[in-house]
Amino acid sequence: MTPLVRSVRSADTLTRDALAVLQPGFTGTTAPDWLLRRLGEGLVSVGLFGRNVADPAQLAALTGRLRAEREELIVAIDEEGGDVTRLEVRGGSSFPGNHALGAVDDTELTRAVARELGRRLADCGINLNWAPSADVNSNPANPVIGVRSFGADPQLVARHTAAYVEGLQSAGVAACTKHFPGHGDTAVDSHHDLPRIAAGLPTLHARELVPFRAAVAAGTRAVMSAHILLPALDAEHPATLSPAALHGLLRAPEAEGGLGFDGLIVTDGMEMQAISATYGIERGSVLALAAGADAICVGGGLADEGIVLRLRDALVRAVREGELPEQRLADAAARVRALAGRARSTGTGEGAAPAPGIGLTAARRALRITAAGPYRPLRESVCVAAFTPLANIAVGDETPWGVAAELTRLLPGTETATCTAEAAAAAGTAALVDGLLTAAAGRHLVAVVRDVHRHPWMADALHTLLAARPDTAVVEMGVPQAPPQGTLHLATHGAARVCAQAAAEALTGRRPSPDE
């Protein structure tokens, strides 16, 4: 009698494949024992966040310890530069973000910035960067993309996305272009809810997909999906869970209207509310794999062994119950292992010549200055009014922003007054501004805003402040959508530390000496 052929492979193979498709995080600056054990059992990827980083030496030691357990390993990080930094989460980035690079519109500069960023990542043992953002920031009200985008013009975003991919990968770090098929036309942050984009397919092809096509042509090794609903593609499932988006659009051959991408498809964080609150993380992960994703990113919020075991077991169970084809899981695991092996053979960023000052050079070139009349550089300590919006989760509230620290370096004695929406609501705009005027009495005033066009309380307070002190200089560190205001208006196109340094230099007319 002919024996029955098992439809499901051995438990060990299935478990190893389920672990292989996970990209989990952990807490602390050293590798926990549970993570090292799971690497030995089949885990192929680890995601790092700001909580895992103290300094380059510590980070290199951490990745070295991970690779001592598994040599062919993907170590990923979310290092966009600019507002979203993990390498310099507590001090601010040495690189301006995408919006500043788009404002300069010099693809060679973008390529050089990405190459230097990649070199630093590679030197720390990181070989996959969840960047660049290829989103076209077509909606000025977007609460989560903004300065993370190169701009609102699809062609500009496309050429800089390609340059970024090329620069990053020339340093030995795989790019993960995000957030497919485009998170720019949203007014909702998918960390909190499920955004919906009403654009039709012609608009999608003419706008959102243009940069992703450029990224694929440039050889991006990975693409990250977005938790956004596009009814023109799939009326039921967000892109991360949609076969029409991942298999039917991203993977489909160009001759069939797809992008023909053959690399690794990574999900955005599965604990984000757009997925977890609607489908649950386990169910969402199964659906993502079935739709065509290869790697499940989790760990930004849930970062312990429990979540790894929950997702591993959910995937194994889905295969055994026929909900997830075993070959789909095997193919996904094979793609992850292939990238891990390729990343190992690529080596470190030693071949990339160091360019330590390229970030500040780019930030200076991105600065846009509008003067209402003659302006004399600041020579004495000033009062900085920092209008501080609630930080979005992608940026986090650990990373400092504003110009006060850089101005204090140049003008000792500079003080800061922080203004928030809560303070404006509690005290009223008039009282808030009166407090600022009192703090700034007898001194020049510098108002720092971030996306003033998106925050009515900020716009009202700034208008009231300028009516009382028209000599105020204004520094916009978000998207400069609102008309320039103030005796001097500086648009930095981002809140990275180097953007603040460039603004402080312009305000004072001086640059610090290397030993200052």
Is the model's pLDDT at 5 over the cut of 50? Answer: no
User: Tell me: the pLDDT tens digits for 254-273?
Assistant: 999 899 999 999 999 998 88
- C-alpha 411, offset from chain centre: 32
Residue 502: the pLDDT is 98
- Euclidean distance between CA atoms 96 and 46, whole angstroms: 26
The answer to whether residue 489 scores a pLDDT higher than 50 is: yes
Q: Residue 371: which H helix or E strand, with range?
A: strand 368-371
Helices (H), 76-176: 98-104, 107-123, 154-170
Decide if pLDDT at 516 tops 70: no
List 296's β-bridge partners, or say none. Answer: 22
Does 8 have pLDDT greater than 70?
A: no
Residue 293's Cβ-side half-sphere holds a number of Cα atoms within 13 Å equal to 30
Q: How confident is the model at residue 4 (pLDDT cuts 50, 70, 90)?
A: very low
Distance of CA 153 to the CA centre of its chain: 19
DSSP, res 203: H
Percentage with pLDDT > 70 across the chain: 93
State residue 39's pLDDT score: 97
Distance, CA of 435 to CA of 426 (rounded, Å): 13
Selected residue with higher pLDDT from 194 and 362? 362
pLDDT band at residue 224 using 50, 70 and 90 as cut-offs: very high
Q: What does the pLDDT read at residue 196?
A: 82
User: Which pLDDT tens digit goes with each residue over 142-189?
Assistant: 878 899 999 999 999 999 999 999 999 999 999 999 999 998 877 655
pLDDT at 307 over 60: yes
The DSSP H or E segment spanning 447 is strand 445-449
H-helix or E-strand containing 463? Answer: helix 456-468
Residue 3 — very low, low, confident or very high, per pLDDT cuts 50/70/90? very low
CA-nearest of 516, 506, 476 to 492 is: 476
Of 141-145, 223-227, 386-390, the least confident: 141-145
Residue type, 430: A
DSSP 96-115: --HHHHHHHT-HHHHHHHHH
Poorest-pLDDT segment among 6-20, 313-327, 468-482:
6-20
DSSP tag of 350: G
* 491 closest CA partner among 476, 481, 501, 503: 476
pLDDT at 412 over 90: yes
What pLDDT shows up at residue 11?
73
- pLDDT at 191 exceeding the cut of 70: no
- % of the chain surpassing 90 pLDDT: 81
**C-alpha torsion sign, points 389, 390, 394, 398:** positive
**Which pLDDT belongs to residue 348?**
54
Contact 474, 403 (CB under 8 A): no
Q: What is the largest CA-CA distance in the chain?
A: 98
For all residues of the chain together, what is the average pLDDT? 92
Q: What is the pLDDT at residue 285? A: 97
Residues with catalytic annotation?
191, 268
Q: Are the CB atoms for 95 and 65 separated by under 8 Å?
A: no
Half-sphere exposure of 196 toward its Cβ, with a 13 Å CA cutoff?
7
Lowest mean pLDDT among 58-62, 269-273, 329-333, 509-513: 509-513
Return the C-alpha torsion angle 322, 327, 329, 334, nearest 10.
170
DSSP codes, 273-341: HHHHTTT-HHHHHHHHHHHT--BEE--SS--SHHHHHHHHHHHHHHHHTTSS-HHHHHHHHHHHHHHHH
Alpha carbon 204 to chain centroid, angstroms: 22
Q: How confident is the model at residue 350, as a pLDDT?
A: 56
pLDDT of the residue at 1: 37
Task: Tell me the residue length of the chain.
Answer: 516
Res. 2 pLDDT band, cuts 50 70 90: very low
Cα separation, 409 vs 512, in Å, equals 8
Answer whether 92's CB lies under 8 Å from 68's CB.
Answer: no
Bridge-based pairing of strands 488-491 and 368-371 is antiparallel
pLDDT given at position 356: 87
Q: Which of 116, 87, 110, 93 is nearest to 354 (CA)?
A: 116
Q: Is the pLDDT of residue 119 over 70?
A: yes
- Identify the CA nearest to 219 among candidates 264, 167, 165: 165
Whether 472 shows a pLDDT value over 80: the answer reads yes
Confidence band for 190, pLDDT divided at 50, 70 and 90? low
Tokens of residue 118, six digits: 């990649």
Residue 245 half-sphere exposure, CB side, CA atoms within 13 Å? Answer: 36
Residue with the bigger pLDDT between 414 and 183: it is 414
pLDDT confidence band for 327 (50 / 70 / 90): very high
Tell me the pLDDT band of 130, cut-offs 50, 70 and 90: very high
For residues 31-54, average pLDDT: 97
pLDDT band at 7 (very low <50, low <70, confident <90, very high): very low
Mean pLDDT of 477-501: 96
Query: What would the two tokens of residue 330 be?
Result: 């095997």
- The phi-psi region of residue 138 (left if phi > 0; otherwise alpha if psi is between -120 and 50; otherwise beta) is alpha
**pLDDT mean over 62-90:** 96
pTM for the model: 0.94
- Please tell me the number of Cα atoms within 13 Å of 31 on its side-chain side: 23
Terminal-to-terminal C-alpha distance of the chain:
85
pLDDT of residue 344 exceeding 80, the answer is no
